[in-house]
Structure 1
Amino acid sequence: MGFRQVHLDFHTSEAIAEIGRRFSKKQFQNMLELGHIDSITVFAKCHHGWSYHPTKVNEMHPNLDFDLLGAMIEAAAEVGVQTPIYISAGLDERLARQHPEWLIRDMDDRTNWVAGFMEPGFHQFCMNSPYLPVLLEQIAEIVSNYETNYIFFDIVGVRQCYCHSCVKALREVGKDPQDAEAIRELGERTYAHYTEQVRQTIHSIKPNMGIVHNSGLLKGRRDLIDMSSHLELESLPTGGWGYDHFPLSARYVQQLGIEFVGMTGKFHTTWGEFGGYKHPNALKYETALNLANGARCSIGDQLHPDGLMDQVTYQLIGQAYGEVKEKEVWCSQAKNVADVGLLSVEAFTASGSHPQQVMDKSDIGAVRLLLEGKFLFDVIDLESDFNSYKVIILPDQIYVDAFLKHKLEVFFEKGGKVLATGSSGLNKEKSAFAIDLGVRYVGLNQYQPDYLKPAFEMPNFSHASLVCYSQGIEIDVVKGSVLGKRENPYFNRELFRYCSHQHTPSSKENGGPGVVESTNGIYIAWHVFDDYAKKGSLPLKEIIIYALNLLLPDKTLETNLPAQGVVTLQKQDQESRYVQHLLYAAPVLRGENIEVIEDIVPVHDIEVSLILESEIKRVYLAPQMQELVFEKKEDRIRYMLPVLECHQMVVLDWDADS
């Protein structure tokens, strides 16, 4: 699997003539070399349903008169570039119009992606229908006829479907298709059956071929992850994902030990855009963010129907991948170093014992705050080793059953601490705290929003009363220190009682404890991470960072890198070195909800100190190979980075004999 991939979309309508007429082996190879590309995903079959190769089990695009797939594979092989093969598994518009009865339907008999056939767009197939054997025939033909390292299957995953096949399957075993749980269970079985049939089909022909199902990442569902040989984390910042999305996914996947690729795009917006381009600095930053989080890189492009590769695109990609090529030796087989384990709300609710998925922003808010606060962290699930971390964060909605209670109590016995917020720590009945946080549950606070007045001085806001927009929890202190108290407003805003434009001011009366430190950690009595994701309150951030710093007196990393900067610490055991990644760019909103990186502003005199297990003998910049002065003071290694422009790796070699 390459470090410098391109995912080359080619969803091409039958209404366009002379497909591939300008394809040139030499021009294709020139663009691969211009882009410093070592792997390019090429199309066997697209969303329109057409094959781009001669076929006996499907139909080749009616306006293509040669084997485009084969020509691309041959051209790439001659210049040493791998060619994974793409198959649109879930969408096949040619076949959808012949067999609409094989499509996914909702309860109202509507299709998806579009609701019916009187609007432009694609329609998704149900893998519990006669479509699956047709797809398997197409797969077998491709695997038999072409050499590749893996097949990439798109538009797949666990679906909820009410098509005729699914309704029939449920009724045959005595289950009610109107039962949402029965539909959910059938969706799980259907997807598992699909992936197993694909595996058997491929491996009966080529046992070592890789398989990737592009089903999205559902944290906590390791069984779904195991259905692929590696992961490609689709995360186009300008396409609606934003720049917070990839670190949230990557910090979960890397701790699982599976190889993964971060997939962004060259597009100004998202997939399907012709004539849209990112600034080269954006691609440099996004690929560097991949490397900093232990991922390889993939950039999405879309081939013009005439088959000519776009030179501007590969000039842009080449600027980013030229840098990746120089850096990748310091990025392979790297493990993340983390003080904090963030127990993901998504992972918690998606696990087998907590099947109801909660779609909230607590994970997003927590990751954003950890990045801005420069904490080293992993995103974890219930199967993770809690004892690998100094602090576990339970963000907002982590209810504690017997299994989690036992894991946390073992963690506490070994000296671990938790930061629990909001409803986290309560039992499944939400009636009492299931773990000892030094507090007693009273109930949900009747006032929202309310106020938090810290007992400590915030760096920029002294002892100000802070508005908390999220749901507050009323508590009593059993044993612990109160770090902040609640102040309720005079009243909630309602029809005949309201004040000013937004909400009622604080009554300034003591409404009980709000932040409590006890033996096992710190509890904050609001859904603060959800609040931070939605409102981005700076005083709230200072309170959470203060709490985490109390829990991490010996945290691995300290730095003055500004809030918008990103820092990770990777470890290459086989090379006896740590690799510190530092990044800085400032995305701005341009247009409607599109985050754009254009200017790279240098940041100067970045101070870094680290507590490391190994005796450091050398510190240098990579790939520049420039030595850095460092000192060991007490238990910390300290160095200063004179200037950071977008991305810098600082390598810390240790004495392998120490």
Structure 2
Amino acid sequence: MRFRQIHLDFHTSEAIPGIGSRFDKSQFQNMLKAGHVDSITVFSKCHHGWAYHPSEANEMHPHLHFDLLGAMIEAAHEIDVKTPVYLSAGLDEKLARRHPEWLIRDANDNTNWVDGFMKPGYHQFCLNSPYLDVLIPQIEEVVRNYDADGIFLDIVGVRLCYCHTCVNELRSAGEDPRDPAAVLALGERTYANYTRRVREAIDAIKPGLPVFHNGGHIRRGRRDLAGMNSHLELESLPTGGWGYDHFPLSARYAQGLGMPFLGMTGKFHTTWGEFGGYKHPNALRYETALSLANGARCSVGDQLHPEGYMDEATYRLIGLAYREVEAKEAWCRDAKNVADVALLSVEAAVSGKAENRVDRTGTSDAGAVRMLLEGKVLFDVVDLEGDFAPYKVLILPDQIAVSDGLAAKLEAYAAQGGKLLVTGHSGLNEDGTAFAVDLGIRYTGESPYKPEYFRPAFELPSLSSAAFVFYSQGCLVEASGARILGSREFPYFNRDVFTFSSHQHTPNRPENAGPGMTEHPNGIYIAWNVFEDYAVKGSLALKESVLYALNRLLGDRRTLQTNLAAQGIVTLAKQQAENRYVQHLLYASPVKRGSGVEVIEDLLPVLDTEVQLVVPEHITRAYLAPQGTELPFTRQDGLVTYTVPRFECHQMVVLEFD
């Protein structure tokens, strides 16, 4: 998989004339060179339904008069740029108006993406309808006729559908379309059938050609869905609705699947389909560096002008980032993430639900990742099938119900010395009545008060001793063999029409109302959904309480410590074949612009970043990459210490060992 990819959107209405009229082979090649691009995804078929090449399986765009796809592939291959080919699988607006009976319908017979035909926008097809028999020949035609380096199929996934085809199929099988479980099960079968047919069709022509099915998010816990692809492309445009939380969370999970993957951002100020919108070059430098630091290749989204010329400003912008990526590739190939902590994803633990296009991150997962990144904790994200053994601490955030199988796995993990950090409702059995793992506490029910207060029995690093408000739902527990690290305090009453005080919540009643944080040989329990709370409220007391617990659990087993500020990101990877570690330092500070858009503009130099590293190997050399500058370090009793005098945006430190 190439490191410097472009995803070149080309969704072009039939109402626009002159399609491809200004395409020029030399200009196309020159822009790819200016952008330091080594792979570009080009279009066979767009969301409007048109083909951009002569076609018997589809119809060529009415205002295109030559083989644009073929010309792009030929031009790219001449300069050693790969060309995966894109087909819109879930959307085809041309066909939607001819066969509205093939579209996905909700229980009220509304279509999606837009709910009718009097609004501008696309309508999604049901892949259980005859439409699939139209789509497969379109894919076959591209694979047979063009030298594609892969196939990218868009807008697909497990869907809930109440179209006539799906309703009739359920009823014919004796199932009830009013049963959500039956509808979801059919959606699962429909998607599996679609991916199987695609794979069989391609392999009959070009066996093993890479295929990716894009749904905008890689669902944690669904290894079966991930395995329907040859590789993964993590669509994650920070300004386009994904935010800056999504990619680190998604990448840390993808790394554990053992599949090649890339991180896909965009050149846009906002999101797909924005003409004339550009993010600051520093944002793209940071986002591509973030991909490298998380073990991913890079992809940047662009959209071609209908007349077919490549935008010079875009490729100068991309080139500033990809020039740096090109210089760093050698230290990013076959690099395995080093982690002390595993985060068991809430999304993975409740992965049976249908896809949610809005909530790609999840509040508990997002809050946990924010704390781990800000606390400079080395971590992976795992699912229920993951191997917990390599990790020193396993986090069960907020909402992890424990089945009998998971309980046995956790017991084995604890028996070999692993430690648990459990919060809120996590750790309870599937009935929600008792803890399924031994933490030296007994569950007595949900707290009747919300919010509540936590009074730690330890000093927080940044705050004096106090009772701190925790906004999320709390669980009541009794200690029966656990040490109490902090207590809860109730408010005088819940805020109600007849009982309220001041502007927000009721103040604390300064009385011990039971344990709020406990410690047991198996781990630490915190009695609130603290990660969800942090994602929503971002309270400093939440983060410092959790990091205190993690530091107690890790003790002197923590691999890396640094003084890098909260907005900085630290990762550590190991290139075993090269006998070296690569330690990544990143720093940028997103700010809000407009209504809820986070942007990165200024990249300030970071001075005197101190790092302490504990690794089993004998470190013999340290240097900065890609600069090659030697970096002084000390080594004593397995502790390697060094200081990076100055970096901007991204710096790699390479540590070679015997």
Please, what TM-score do these two structures have when normalized by structure 2?
0.98
SS at match of 1:571: strand
CA distance in 2, matches of 1:204, 1:358: 35
CA distance in 2, matches of 1:139, 1:256: 27
Q: CA deviation at 1:635?
A: 2.6
Q: CA deviation at 1:358?
A: 11
Q: CA deviation at 1:179?
A: 1.1
- The letter for the 1-side match of 2:232 is L
Matching residue of 2:498: 496
Matching residue of 1:76: 76
CA distance in 2, matches of 1:433, 1:622: 48
Q: 2:573 pairs with 564, 570, 574, which one?
A: 570
CA distance in 1, matches of 2:527, 2:563: 29
SS at match of 2:284: helix
Matching residue of 1:407: 409
SS at match of 2:513: strand
TM-aligned CA distance change 1:224 to 1:469, over 3 Å:
same
SS at match of 1:6: strand
- The letter for the 2-side match of 1:335 is K
Matching residue of 2:621: 618
CA offsets 1:401-439 (integer angstroms, 9 cap, x no match): 111001000001100000000011111111111110111
CA distance in 1, matches of 2:385, 2:371: 24
Matching residue of 1:166: 166
CA distance in 2, matches of 1:556, 1:19: 56
Q: CA deviation at 1:208?
A: 2.0
Task: Please tell me whether the aligned partners of residues 612 and 639 of structure 2 are also in contact (alpha carbons under 8 angstroms).
Answer: yes
CA distance in 1, matches of 2:525, 2:646: 39
Q: CA deviation at 1:315?
A: 0.2
Q: 1:382 pairs with 378, 381, 384, which one?
A: 384
Q: CA deviation at 1:2?
A: 1.0
Task: Please tell me whether the aligned partners of residues 52 and 61 of structure 2 are also in contact (alpha carbons under 8 angstroms).
Answer: yes
Q: 2:396 pairs with 394, 398, 415, which one?
A: 394
Pairing 1:70-469 to 2, within 5 Å after superposition? 70-215=70-215, 216-350=217-351, 360-469=362-471
- The letter for the 2-side match of 1:194 is Y
Q: CA deviation at 1:178?
A: 1.2
CA distance in 2, matches of 1:301, 1:193: 31
SS at match of 2:565: coil
State whether structure 2 residue 648 is matched by structure 1 residue 645: yes
Q: 2:635 pairs with 632, 637, 645, which one?
A: 632
CA distance in 1, matches of 2:601, 2:360: 35
CA offsets 1:520-547 (integer angstroms, 9 cap, x no match): 0100000000000000000111111000
State whether structure 2 residue 589 is matched by structure 1 residue 586: yes
- The letter for the 2-side match of 1:116 is G
Q: CA deviation at 1:633?
A: 2.5
Task: Please tell me whether the aligned partners of residues 391 and 418 of structure 2 are also in contact (alpha carbons under 8 angstroms).
Answer: yes
Pairing 1:506-517 to 2, within 5 Å after superposition? 506-517=508-519
CA distance in 2, matches of 1:132, 1:274: 32
SS at match of 1:263: strand
Q: 2:611 pairs with 583, 595, 608, which one?
A: 608
Matching residue of 2:46: 46
CA distance in 1, matches of 2:385, 2:405: 11
Matching residue of 2:522: 520
CA offsets 1:70-115 (integer angstroms, 9 cap, x no match): 0000000111100000000000011111111000001111110000
Task: Please tell me whether the aligned partners of residues 89 and 135 of structure 1 are also in contact (alpha carbons under 8 angstroms).
Answer: yes
Task: Please tell me whether the aligned partners of residues 240 and 593 of structure 1 are also in contact (alpha carbons under 8 angstroms).
Answer: no
- The letter for the 2-side match of 1:431 is T
CA offsets 1:609-632 (integer angstroms, 9 cap, x no match): 111121111100000000000001
State whether structure 2 residue 470 is matched by structure 1 residue 475: no
CA distance in 2, matches of 1:236, 1:98: 33
- The letter for the 1-side match of 2:223 is R
The number of residues matched between the two structures is: 652
CA distance in 2, matches of 1:178, 1:494: 38
SS at match of 1:386: coil
Matching residue of 1:537: 539
- The letter for the 2-side match of 1:40 is I
- The letter for the 1-side match of 2:573 is Q
CA distance in 2, matches of 1:556, 1:280: 33
Moved over 3 A (4+): 357-360
CA offsets 1:285-331 (integer angstroms, 9 cap, x no match): 00000000000000000000000100000000000000000001100
- The letter for the 2-side match of 1:480 is A
CA distance in 1, matches of 2:609, 2:271: 34
SS at match of 1:509: coil
Q: CA deviation at 1:478?
A: 0.5
Q: CA deviation at 1:461?
A: 1.1
Task: Please tell me whether the aligned partners of residues 128 and 190 of structure 1 are also in contact (alpha carbons under 8 angstroms).
Answer: yes
SS at match of 1:452: strand
- The letter for the 2-side match of 1:31 is M
CA offsets 1:49-80 (integer angstroms, 9 cap, x no match): 00000001110000000000000000001111
Task: Please tell me whether the aligned partners of residues 246 and 361 of structure 2 are also in contact (alpha carbons under 8 angstroms).
Answer: no
TM-aligned CA distance change 1:293 to 1:538, over 3 Å:
same
CA distance in 1, matches of 2:199, 2:479: 55
TM-aligned CA distance change 1:300 to 1:567, over 3 Å:
same
Task: Please tell me whether the aligned partners of residues 246 and 360 of structure 2 are also in contact (alpha carbons under 8 angstroms).
Answer: no
Q: Percent identity?
A: 65
TM-aligned CA distance change 1:446 to 1:358, over 3 Å:
farther
Structure 1: which 5+ runs fail to align?
none
SS at match of 1:568: strand
CA distance in 1, matches of 2:122, 2:526: 47
CA distance in 2, matches of 1:371, 1:526: 21
Task: Please tell me whether the aligned partners of residues 396 and 423 of structure 1 are also in contact (alpha carbons under 8 angstroms).
Answer: yes
Task: Please tell me whether the aligned partners of residues 255 and 335 of structure 1 are also in contact (alpha carbons under 8 angstroms).
Answer: no
RMSD between aligned residues: 1.2
CA distance in 1, matches of 2:140, 2:456: 64
Task: Please tell me whether the aligned partners of residues 444 and 476 of structure 2 are also in contact (alpha carbons under 8 angstroms).
Answer: yes
State whether structure 2 residue 555 is matched by structure 1 residue 555: no
SS at match of 1:489: coil
SS at match of 2:512: strand
CA distance in 2, matches of 1:412, 1:57: 58
SS at match of 1:510: coil
SS at match of 1:404: helix
